[in-house]
Structure 1
Amino acid sequence: MLLNKDKVQGVLEQIQMQIPHAAEPEYLLDTVTIDLDGRPAGTVILVDDIPEFKNDKIELRTDPGSIVLRINDKKRADARPMHAPES
């Protein structure tokens, strides 16, 4: 769950909606909350940046260095073409 999405000063790009992991039932995570308040453009959050996954009772089933979300600069996002021109 992403808190304060409305306060993001850029374009929010959520790469992963779910983080595959395994654990005993009492350690499984249903929801992880990331507060975006005060996060500037250029912010990149990796799986390894999420405290809930730094538990030795949880086995990640994805690369801890994979990107969960990033906040892009609005100017850069606006400058990108919607699709690549055909050759």
Structure 2
Amino acid sequence: MKSIETRTGTETLPSLGHAEVRIIAHTPEAARAVAEALRGCFAGAEQRSYPGLDGATRLHLTVDTATPAGPAGSRQSAIGTPAGIGAHSDEI
């Protein structure tokens, strides 16, 4: 995997054909609604949520940009967790 330098350190890029999406919302419901909309367009590989500042919710989603979502969305593919993917250094 390739790494890039960011203002908070070094981050590993997602695998080819995947994108990391970070959602910050006031409520978990709002974050999940955005994630569901993305899953309507792309197959989802993994979803992680973290508490944010001042009670906000942070939800991180890895989407497969090379595979369109199936008719029932990608909820089944969201069950598995790819190895080596976890919280970013600025999220601990």
TM range (shorter): under 0.3
Higher strand share: 2
Structure exhibiting the larger radius of gyration computed from Cα positions: 1
Higher relative contact order (CA 8 A, sep 6+): 1
Scaled by the length of structure 2, what TM-score is found? 0.23
Scaled by the length of structure 1, what TM-score is found? 0.24
